[in-house]
Chain A
């Protein structure tokens, strides 16, 4: 009853094309944003921010990135982890050379390097598609992983081979490094995430988003109506890698504080792919649902036996997580290929008609 659009007539195409054509959605989003900015940083403790909220936001950005490539443009990629790594190492090198430039700007810039490298590995899409292209992304993954290990210049010749985020400030407050508080890091991450999410939502609803979806649904027809397949795929690779790169840089600077190359290995690529599938292929907000679910599943699995007073070896929670993820992916593909996002949409449709279902 409260969620219905009666009386909200669209009098222009502008209103109909808005991101949130239904007024209640816009209000709900506003309330949610106020909650995220004004309530969360002051009420959530460090544990919640560090283990649940910040990682979900950061991985959500990588998931949007892969979703643009796989969910929107239909190109399967196994190179997400490596592209995240490119962002992280670039941000690390940039802040070494330009410590006076604000770290937030450097992190966003590092996405550009990642985009350039993503573009390079997307070039084979001129000739190949489908599984063949997926092999090109595997080449990117394994080659870049090797570069992260072998090129000691990348980690400033550190003995451990790890990169460590130095302390950097914003408006005089430390936002990276050991002295940065969880809420400071959270607020910076949240702002970057809100900006990037808004941009992604804009991109996918306009002509570029349509060309991606057209290539995904039927590439031959897309070509015949004048969409350049190569151009559309390359743009998807570039934008996708940008998002992954920024996510990887945020991961090191705002969450882990330090990282070794194995943070960006192929298992990372798979885990982001799981987030995309579970959250919903071709959905921006689904990306966050997927990230939240996959990231927090092992935490929940660890916590449940603990709450019941049982002791379970950590390695078993890992295996249990892997099993549940696998089973869930298969079920999602069978039951609702558009993932959690679609389930949420169905629930909303029901709510729209409530209390009269017909």
Chain B
């Protein structure tokens, strides 16, 4: 899949020299990389490397101290979450940020928010344009439910689902927005091998069938090496490597960063 043609395309998104800090602590210290349309781009690194913070900058949840974000050819110093969503960036979260009191169906329907425009007036009667819009969007959501094989939990409140299924519903909610770019923050954490295989399949299908560009944070190296076209490696707020999986595997800085943390973990244990 690491199609050399892809590399020639102009990037869909580029972050340049992003710096982010919280009360004196630097989470990201000047990181740049790009994401090309249609690729699966992994961001890896030890804990505390600043990976999630980077996703938060990309979809506007954090405002960087300096640096810029170029998306679809337009450069911003920061984006608002709402703008990022309406420009086609969707995401999932490390700890699952679903609406716990709502059913699977309703959760995924909320993913269609930006596609739904009918006014309050028609909704008072659930009639005419309002009803048609609800039904049309329901049909799209049902396709996603089929795609993710979660028909049996359609009407279950998500708070009652096991973690693995919640992750799947969250992917469904993000896909429902028909995003250009999907940010996945550890979509496979806490899953067994079988669940991981399923999730990998869904991610690949989304990428190939729907053409969604994917940015992936994941700790399972096997999964990362298999799925991704290119990998960014971060450590303590810096980018230490960037390239195709084969190169990253043998990169000395990367091995050091990972071994380094392993050493530290051993030392502290």
CB of A216 within 8 A of chain B? yes
Query: A222 and B99: CB pair below 8 A?
Result: yes
A-side contacts of B81, CB under 8 Å: 223-224
Query: B142 and A206: CB pair below 8 A?
Result: no
Chain B's interface size range is: 35 or more
A-side contacts of B86, CB under 8 Å: 226
Main secondary structure of the interface of B (DSSP, over half): helix
A225 vs B59: C-alpha distance in the bound complex, in angstroms? 10
Given A222-B110, A225-B111, also A202-B99 (CB < 8 A): no
B131's nearest neighbour on chain A, judged by CB, is A14
CB of B163 within 8 A of chain A? no
A-side contacts of B267, CB under 8 Å: none
Q: Which of B97, B109, B118, B126 contacts A221 (CB 8 A)?
A: B97
Closest Cβ–Cβ distance, residue B268 to chain A (whole Å): 32
A228's nearest neighbour on chain B, judged by CB, is B82
Q: Which of A207, A218, A224 contacts B116 (CB 8 A)?
A: A207
Q: Which of A17, A220, A221, A224 contacts B98 (CB 8 A)?
A: A221
Query: B130 and A211: CB pair below 8 A?
Result: no
Q: Give the segment of B21-29, B100-108, B227-235, B237-245 that binds chain A.
A: B100-108
Given A216-B101, A220-B97, also A227-B124 (CB < 8 A): no
Query: B110 and A202: CB pair below 8 A?
Result: no
A-side contacts of B97, CB under 8 Å: 218, 220-221, 224
Closest Cβ–Cβ distance, residue B174 to chain A (whole Å): 8
CB of A199 within 8 A of chain B? yes
A213 vs B100: C-alpha distance in the bound complex, in angstroms? 9
Given A224-B59, A225-B110, A225-B173, also A202-B125 (CB < 8 A): yes
Query: A207 and B85: CB pair below 8 A?
Result: no
A216 vs B101: C-alpha distance in the bound complex, in angstroms? 9
CB of A210 within 8 A of chain B? yes
Binding site for B on A (CB under 8 A): 13-14, 17, 19, 199, 202-203, 205-208, 210-211, 213-214, 216-218, 220-228, 235, 282
Binding site for A on B (CB under 8 A): 59, 61, 81-82, 84-86, 90-91, 93, 97-102, 106, 109-111, 113-114, 116, 118, 120, 123-126, 130-131, 133-135, 138-139, 142, 173-174, 177
17 contacts between A and B (CB under 8 A): A14-B131, A199-B125, A206-B123, A206-B126, A207-B113, A207-B118, A207-B133, A213-B101, A214-B110, A217-B100, A218-B97, A224-B61, A224-B97, A225-B90, A225-B113, A235-B120, A282-B101
